[in-house]
Structure 1
Amino acid sequence: MLVSCLEASRDLCETDAILFGAALAVCRIIGAKVSTAERATGQSSTISAWRRRIEERIAKARALIGRLICFISGNNRPRIVRTVRMALALCHRYVSLSQPDITQKLTERIDDLKQRIAAWAKWIRRYTERSTRFNQNRLFQSDQKRLYESLERPMVSGTGPAPNQADSVVFWCGLWSEPVNEYIEEKNF
């Protein structure tokens, strides 16, 4: 089953997901405990509803800023024009897009959206910092050793330098171009 799934995979992400699923199934069958990075960092995988809503607002505002900038730079496609009219209708009663001060009004709207994004991001950042402090205080009271170990351990997220594209290509080409023995013992996954 794994061979047929891997042959049907279209890209590296899909191959990774298939292999991870197979490894997880094997671990469950043999009863091995699975340690994920999520457990190692102490972060929860569930995002609260209010945070998800704020992140959606931020994404919509960024998309709107992008369309407003496209219009200012001369893109007059109907979808862009419709979005610009909608954005201006929220802050002005009626604005003709042929007015001489339209660029100024659009710039003001962009600035307003940027300020809102900054405020929303600050809400999320303050909550995250408060939550981290709360969890660290609770961990300090229950298990100081684990707290100090978690503070000394480097963060799991990709905070290091980005890999060089040429090195990545050489690495993966060398890995995928090696001949592989196609014999796979059949097991029930």
Structure 2
Amino acid sequence: MISGTGPALNWTDTVTFWRGLWSEPVNHSGGPWTEVVASQCASITPIDPVIITPHDVAEAVLRAPNWKTPGLDGLHHYWLKGFVVCHTMLARQFQEALNQKSLPSLFTTGITHLVPKDQDTIDKIP
């Protein structure tokens, strides 16, 4: 569909839809399939431990786009590229997450931005 040619966006319905998706806690139900997957994975050889260094963080940050929407920390990659003193702390935090075999909720939390495609939509935003 070409922007602006479809039915008008109902702002309330859109917000309700996305809020329903992202605001509800996830309830994963275990079932017999989990045992099947576990048995299939039993023969997989574990990989060697991964060590994340400040150099690894620096390389990843340098490849990242400068001004894409930041995460919950609010920092754009542009700033992380210049704050090299943060690379050691970030490497340590990533390493701790790997060693604990669980991720802090901050690592899996995101932000959804509704981007209006035309002026008519923008005019309807409260």
On whether the aligned pair clears a TM of 0.5, the verdict is no
The alignment's TM-score, normalised by the length of structure 1, stands at 0.21
Tell me which protein shows more helix as a share of its residues.
Answer: 1
Structure 2 length normalisation: TM-score?
A: 0.29
Q: Which has the higher contact order (CA 8 A, sep 6+)?
A: 2
Query: Which one has the largest radius of gyration?
Result: 1
